[in-house]
């Protein structure tokens, strides 16, 4: 499997992905091959760590950061978001985006940027109507059924998968320890 890194992303010696480790950074790790996510049910599992902020906020107020699991970058994405903005007023949310628009969001009962390792599970049942369930530390946080479209409409030929992070805090490390998606696995010794 071929992967690409972009921005501040680095693959560390233990196989984990260090996506950001400082103020106003972005990092992305992309799987080059397209994956089918619209025909059969799939599950994405990951272990992630977002360190707590170091006391320096971003320029527009309360700082934050986030880790996103994306298909065709912004076409379909699930985000762990601690950045206060117009669609995240709690600063600790799980968000679901389709074609650049937020379609679902839920406050996360676990502090996402606590520095603790968090287990993320995303389950998708693509038909007859696409249903997405996101669990954090094995507790369901977000459940959403797409109302007007299906993933087959959006990705008829498969999708490129990537893990993306941004930070608005100095010294905030965002690490993804392992990602597994259907038959695709990103882990040690790539």
Contact between 8 and 26 (Cβ < 8 Å) = yes
Confirm whether 72 is domain-assigned. Answer: yes
Confirm whether 130 is domain-assigned. Answer: no
Residue 95 has pLDDT above 60, yes or no: yes
Predicted confidence (pLDDT) per residue in 105-154, tens digit: 999 999 888 889 999 999 998 878 899 999 999 999 999 999 888 888 89
Number of domains in the chain: 1
CATH of the domain at 13: 2.60.120.200
Residue 59 has pLDDT above 60, yes or no: no
Confirm whether 142 is domain-assigned. Answer: no
Average pLDDT over residues 169-181: 83
Structural domain of 94? 3-39+49-116+154-186
Take residue 37 and report the two structure tokens written for it: 């996510």
Q: Is the pTM of this model over 0.85?
A: yes
Confirm whether 112 is domain-assigned. Answer: yes
From edge to edge, which strands make up the β-sheet containing 65-71? 3-7, 26-35, 159-167, 65-71, 76-81, 93-98, 101-107
């Amino acid at each position: 499997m071929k992967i690409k890194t972009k921005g501040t992303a680095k693959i560390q010696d233990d196989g984990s992905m260090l996506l950001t480790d400082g103020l106003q950074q972005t990092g992305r790790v992309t799987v080059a091959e397209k994956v089918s996510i619209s025909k059969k049910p799939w599950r994405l599992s990951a272990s992630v760590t977002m360190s707590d902020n170091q006391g320096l906020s971003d320029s527009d107020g309360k700082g934050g950061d986030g880790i996103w699991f994306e298909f065709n970058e912004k076409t379909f994405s699930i985000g762990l978001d601690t950045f206060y903005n117009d669609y995240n007023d709690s600063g600790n949310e799980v968000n679901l985006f389709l074609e650049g628009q937020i379609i679902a969001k839920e406050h996360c009962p676990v502090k996402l940027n606590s520095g603790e390792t968090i287990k993320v599970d995303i389950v998708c049942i693509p038909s007859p109507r696409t249903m997405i369930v996101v669990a954090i530390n094995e507790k369901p946080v977000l459940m959403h059924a797409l109302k007007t479209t299906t993933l087959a409409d959006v990705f008829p030929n498969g999708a490129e998968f990537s893990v993306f992070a941004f930070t608005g805090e100095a010294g905030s490390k965002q690490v993804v320890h392992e990602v597994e998606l259907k038959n695709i696995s990103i882990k040690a010794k790539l």
